[in-house]
Amino acid sequence: MALNPTEPKWSLRLPADCSIAAIRNVYDLIREAFGRQERLEIDCSSVDKADVTSIQLLLSTAKTGEAQGRPVVLTSFSQSLRNTLRRAGFASEAMIDQHFPQKKDGT
Amino acid sequence: MSTMDPTEVFRQEASELFEVLEGALLDLGQRPDDRELVDSAFRALHTIKGSGAMFGFDKVASFTHEFETAFDRVRKGEIKPTQELISVALAAKDYIRALIEDPQSTDDIIGEAILDDLRRFVSSDRPSAPVAEIAEAPPLAPNESRQAGWHLYLEFESHILRNGSNPLDLLEDLCKLGPCFVVPVTDGIPFLDEMDPEDCYLKWDVKLHAACDKDAIDDVFMFVQDEMKLTLSPLAQVEAPAPAPLFQLLDEEPAPPAETVAQVMESAAPVAAPPAARPERKAEVASEPKSDIKPETAPARREDAKQERGIATVRVQAERLDELMDRVGELVIAQARLTQLASAGSDLSIKMIAEEIERLASSLRDTTMGARMVPIGSLFGRFRRLVHDLSRDLSKPVEFVTSGEDTELDKTMIECLADPLVHLIRNAIDHGIEDSATRAANGKTEQGRIELAAVHSGAQVLVTVKDNGGGLNTARIRAKAEEQGLIAAGAVLSDHEIHQFLFHPGFSTAQTISALSGRGVGMDVVKRTIENMRGSIDLSTRPGQGTIVTLRLPLTLAIIEGLLIRVGEGRYIIPLSAVEECVELTAEDERSRGRNFLNVRGNLVPFLRLRELMAASGAPDRHQKTIIISTGETRVGLVADQIIGNHQTVIKSLSKLHSDVTIFSGATILGDGTAALILDVAQLVAMAQSKVEKQHISEAA
C-alpha cells in the first residue's frame, strides 16, 4: 500500500481488502498514484478480498493507462484475486493477458 | 424521526405480500395456465421465507419452505393447480399469516395437517419415472426441450453491488446447472476519472450447456431480476457434446456478424427456435469486440418492470397522515379567524394576505385529502377470498365481478367500509343467490353472479353490491313486520317502505334467516355504520332477478363544505351536500302553525322549526328562512333565523358524553373561535317523517 520512492518506478501495493467495502479508498489510492508518476506499477500480492469492483477498477486503470500512453504494470496477482478473476470468467492466462495487457508475473 | 421496529416493517411488508399471494392464488383458480401468476405467487412466498428468516420468524421460514417445496411442482408445470389445491394453498397462506401476526394462536398440528394436505395433492399424480417426466414436462414449448442449452447475456443495473448482490455468486449458481462458459464483457468499463468504483460496469456473456428449463435459470436470478437485464435465447447445437472447452466453443462459432446469426443458426439447427422471430436486437450487444461471440438476443422480459420503477411512491405511516390532516384542519380554522379579522378591519394589505392564505390553505387541504385517498380496489381484493370460501361452503357456484377499483376514497372510509360490505356480500350469497337446482328450474345460469362496483357521483361515491339471485320476498317481510307489530295489518305501504324494515334492529331473527329469502342479518348494523360515515344505504330488488344494495358515501370524513346558519343566538352547520335549496318562509306558511307543511312548487314538504328544536330564546327574526335538505328521495325543510353562508367545516367528533345526542353529528370551530354544531341530516329527516306520521295518526283518530 505504501509508495516506495527509492525504487526507480512507483510501486503501489494494493491493500488486503479490495472488496466493495473498501474500494473507494483503493480507487483514491490509484488515482493519486496515477497523478504522480508516468509509469505505474501495481503490486497485487497482498489482495485478500476481491470482488467485481476490484476487477473493474484494475480494468479501468489498465484502460486509462493505455489511453494516456502511460504504462501500467500489474504484478504478483494474489491467489484470492486470481480466484475472483476466474469466477468472473477470466478463465485463462491468455484472457487475463488480453484484458490486463501489461501484466507481468512477479513471482 | 421515529425509527420503526424492523419486525413491524416485516409484518407490513408481509401483509402486502400476502395480498399478492392470495390474489395470485385466486386468479390461478380461474386461469390455471397463467405462468406469470404461478411465478408471482412463488416470488411472494420466497420473499416471505427470506425476510421471515432474516427477522427471526424461524417457524414462518420453515413452514414456508415446505409450502414452497410442495408448490414447486405446480411451478414446474408438472401438475395443474386445481381448485382443491388452491383451497389448501390458501389455508397454508392463512397459517403463515397467523404465524407472523399472532404466533400464540397457532398450533403446529394445524400446520402439519395443512402441509400433509398440500403434499398429498402435489404427489397424488406423481408418475413412477420422474426423469422421463421432466423430459416431457414443457409440452407448450417443444423446441426448448430439445435444445442443447442457453445463451445468456447479463447486464446489471449500476447500483446492484451496493445492495449486496454479487454477480459472481449468480454466475456460480448458473454453473451448477451445467457446464457453463462465462465471458466477461469489459467494454462498459469507463476511464478512471469517470468511474464510480462501487457501480457495476462488467457484463457477462454466458453459454450454458445444459438442457435445463428456462425456469431454472430464472430461479438463479429471482432476487435480482428487477435490477438487471437478462437476455436469454436457446443455443442451437443439437448434437453438441456437452462440456466443450472454451477454445473449441469459440471455433464453433467463428464470430458471425449479428445480422447473419439467424441464418447460420437456422441452417445449423432447424429444430431450434428460429431466432429471426425475435423482434428486437440490442445494438450494444452486437458491438462486443473481444469475446468473439455475437449473442443473438431476445427482448429482455423485465423491461416493463424497469419502466414501472420510475413511478416513485413513498410509504407513510397512516398516523402521520391523520396528524397532517389534523394540522391542516387547525390551519383552516386559524385561516377562517384571520379572514374574519381582516374583513372587520380596513387594512388593505392584511386583506390581501388573508386572501392569499385562504387560497393556500384550501389548496393544502385538497392536497392533503388527496394524499389520504386510497383506491377502493385494495378493499375489493379481500372479498374475492370471502366469495371463494362462501361459494365453496354453500356449494353455490358464484362468479365475483368487480369494477371501479380505481375509485378513490378516504382511507378511513375504506377501513370503515370493510365490515358492512362483508355483511352485504355474505347476505347476497347466503340468501340472495339460489342453489343450483332452483336456478336451473328458473331458467337461470347455474353460476350465480355478484357484482361489486364503485363509481364517483358528484361529491359522493356509490358502492353497489348486486346479485342475480331471487330478490327480496316482499310479502314475507311484510308478514314479519306485522307479526312484530311494526306496522298495522292492512296498512298501505309501498314495496320500498316495506324493504326498509330490513334495517330495523332485530328485525331478522334466527328462525327466519333461512326461511326468509330477504336480508336482515346485521342489516341494522350495516345501516348504522354507513350513516355514521354520513352515507346512506338503499335497496332495490326485482323478484326473480336479483337485488341491488347501493351505498352512497361522502368522499372524506375530515373536512366538508357546510352551510352556516343562525338559530336564535346559536350557529349551526348543515352539510352542503344535503342542501337542495333555500326559500323564505312565507307569511302563509307561517300562519299554518298546526300543519307544518310547506308548499314548494306544488309539492308538500314537511318542515321543522329549528327554534323550537333548539329551544332558542329571544324573538325570532321577522323573515324566517327555510333550508330544504334531502336524503335521497325524502325532503324536509328546516326553518332558521338567518343563513350566514358557505363554511369550510373541519369536523370535530363529539365526545362520548354526547353519544346520546342524535340530531348533531359533530362540531366545528368558527372563525371567531366559537363552536358550532353540525346538524345530522339523516336524523332530522327521520324526525320530521315520524312527526308527520304522528300527525296522520292523530288526525285519523
3-state secondary structure B546-581: EEEEEEEEECCCCEEEEEEEEECCEEEEEEHHHEEE
Could you give the CA distance from residue B451 to residue B461 in angstroms, rounded to a whole number? 16
Q: B459 vs B230, which has greater pLDDT?
A: B230
| Amino acid, res. B199 | D
Is the minimum CB–CB distance between B156 and chain A shorter than 8 Å? Answer: no
A59 and B189 within 8 Å at the Cβ level: the answer is: yes
Alpha carbon distances (Å) from B554 to B408, B532, B653: 11, 11, 16
Look at residue B393 and tell me whether its pLDDT is greater than 70: yes
Nearest to B202 among A23, A34, A52 (CB): A52
Quote the pTM value.
0.47
The residue-averaged pLDDT of B164-181 equals 82
Task: Look at the domain A15-99 and name its fold.
Answer: Transcription Regulator spoIIAA (3.30.750)
Nearest to B290 among A67, A92, A98 (CB): A98
Burial profile B337-350: b = 16 or more Cβ within 10 angstroms, e = fewer:
ebbeebeeeeeeee
Minimum Cα–Cα distance from B246: chain A residue: A91
Closest Cα of chain B to A52: distance in Å? 7
User: Maximum Cα–Cα distance for chain B, whole Å?
Assistant: 111
What pLDDT is attached to residue B264?
A: 40
Is the minimum CB–CB distance between A54 and chain B shorter than 8 Å? Answer: no
Highest mean pLDDT out of B332-336, B378-382, B506-510, B572-576: B572-576
Q: CATH 1.10.287 in chain B: give the residue spans.
A: 318-372
Could you give the CA distance from residue B626 to residue B608 in angstroms, rounded to a whole number? 9
**In B281-376, alpha helices (H):** 283-286, 303-308, 318-344, 348-371
| Contacts with B561 (C-beta within 8 Å, 6 or more apart), sequence order | B575, B576, B577, B646, B647, B648, B649
Look at residue B579 and tell me whether its pLDDT is greater than 60: yes
Is the minimum CB–CB distance between A63 and chain B shorter than 8 Å? Answer: yes
Task: Determine contact, residues B49/B64, Cβ cutoff 8 Å.
Answer: yes
Closest Cα of chain A to B198: distance in Å? 6
Task: Determine contact, residues B188/B202, Cβ cutoff 8 Å.
Answer: yes
What pLDDT is attached to residue B592?
A: 60
Other CB atoms within 10 A of residue A53 CB = 27
Alpha carbon distances (Å) from B192 to A47, A64, B214, B247: 20, 6, 38, 32
What pLDDT is attached to residue B595?
A: 66
The residue-averaged pLDDT of B226-243 equals 66
CATH 3.40.50 fits B318-372, yes or no: no
Q: B465 vs B100, which has greater pLDDT?
A: B465
Where does B374-554 sit in CATH, by number?
3.30.565.10
The residue-averaged pLDDT of B102-131 equals 68
Q: Report pLDDT digits (tens) over A77-92.
A: 888 888 888 888 887 6
Look at residue A7 and tell me whether its pLDDT is greater than 60: no
Q: Is the dihedral of CA B155, B161, B165, B167 positive or negative?
A: positive
Q: B294 vs B581, which has greater pLDDT?
A: B581
Minimum Cα–Cα distance from B200: chain A residue: A53
Q: Edge to edge, what strands does the sheet with B642-650 contain?
A: B642-650, B559-567, B570-575, B675-679, B664-669
Closest Cα of chain B to A86: distance in Å? 9
Task: Determine contact, residues B583/B574, Cβ cutoff 8 Å.
Answer: no
Could you give the CA distance from residue B188 to residue B202 in angstroms, rounded to a whole number? 6
Look at residue B170 and tell me whether its pLDDT is greater than 70: yes
Q: Report pLDDT digits (tens) over B287-344.
A: 444 444 444 444 444 444 444 445 567 777 878 888 888 888 888 888 888 888 888 8
The residue-averaged pLDDT of B530-539 equals 82
The distance of Cα B88 from the centroid of its chain, to the nearest Å, equals 24
Q: Edge to edge, what strands does the sheet with B203-208 contain?
A: B180-185, B203-208, B149-156, B228-235
Q: Report pLDDT digits (tens) over B73-113.
A: 777 777 777 777 888 888 888 888 888 887 777 777 788 88
Q: B397 vs B286, which has greater pLDDT?
A: B397
A-chain residues near B195 (CB < 8 A): 27, 56-57, 60
The distance of Cα B652 from the centroid of its chain, to the nearest Å, equals 28
Q: Is the dihedral of CA B503, B507, B510, B513 positive or negative?
A: negative
What pLDDT is attached to residue B140?
A: 40
A-chain residues near B201 (CB < 8 A): 56, 60
Q: B459 vs B631, which has greater pLDDT?
A: B631
Is the minimum CB–CB distance between B295 and chain A shorter than 8 Å? Answer: no
* pLDDT interval class at B616 (50, 70, 90): confident
Could you give the CA distance from residue B252 to residue B256 in angstroms, rounded to a whole number? 11
Q: Report helix, strand and coil shares of chain A as percent, to nearest 5.
A: 45, 15, 40
- Of A60, A67, A7, A16, the closest CA to residue A37 belongs to A7
A-chain residues near B246 (CB < 8 A): 91-92
Minimum Cα–Cα distance from B174: chain A residue: A87
**In chain A, alpha helices (H):** 23-36, 52-68, 79-87, 93-99
Kindly tell me the burial class for residue B109, based on how many C-beta atoms sit within 10 Å of its own C-beta (0-12, 13-18, 19 or more). Answer: exposed
Any idea which of B23-32, B67-76, B94-103, B523-532 has the lowest mean pLDDT?
B67-76
Closest Cα of chain A to B163: distance in Å? 11
CB pairs under 8 A between A and B: 79
Task: Determine contact, residues B361/B398, Cβ cutoff 8 Å.
Answer: no
- Of B599, B606, B569, B567, the closest CA to residue B584 belongs to B599
- Indicate the domain borders of chain A: 15-99
| Contacts with B137 (C-beta within 8 Å, 6 or more apart), sequence order | B76, B77, B78, B145, B213
Backbone dihedral angles phi then psi of residue B68, each to the nearest 5 degrees: -60, -45
* pLDDT interval class at B572 (50, 70, 90): very high
Helices B167-176 and A79-87 cross at an angle (nearest 10°) of: 60
Q: Which CATH superfamily is domain B6-136 in?
A: HPT domain (1.20.120.160)
What pLDDT is attached to residue B127?
A: 44
* pLDDT interval class at A30 (50, 70, 90): confident
* pLDDT interval class at B285 (50, 70, 90): very low
Is B68 annotated in the active site? yes
The distance of Cα B594 from the centroid of its chain, to the nearest Å, equals 52
| Contacts with B202 (C-beta within 8 Å, 6 or more apart), sequence order | A52, A55, A56, A59, A88, B167, B184, B185, B186, B188, B189
Task: Determine contact, residues B484/B507, Cβ cutoff 8 Å.
Answer: yes
Share of chain B above pLDDT 70, in %: 80
Where does B559-700 sit in CATH, by number?
2.30.30.40
Look at residue B539 and tell me whether its pLDDT is greater than 90: no
Cell numbers that stand for B548 in this block: 341491488
Is the minimum CB–CB distance between A30 and chain B shorter than 8 Å? Answer: yes
Could you give the CA distance from residue B185 to residue A60 in angstroms, rounded to a whole number? 13
Q: CATH 1.20.120.160 in chain B: give the residue spans.
A: 6-136
Is B46 annotated in the active site? yes
* pLDDT interval class at B513 (50, 70, 90): very low
Cell numbers that stand for B442 in this block: 328458473
Is B658 annotated in the active site? no
Q: Report pLDDT digits (tens) over B647-662.
A: 878 777 777 677 677 7
Q: CATH 3.30.565.10 in chain B: give the residue spans.
A: 374-554
| Contacts with B507 (C-beta within 8 Å, 6 or more apart), sequence order | B480, B481, B484, B486, B501, B520, B523, B524
Which DSSP symbol is given to B273? P
CA angle A39/A42/A46 to nearest 5° reads 165
The mean predicted confidence, pLDDT, of chain B is: 75
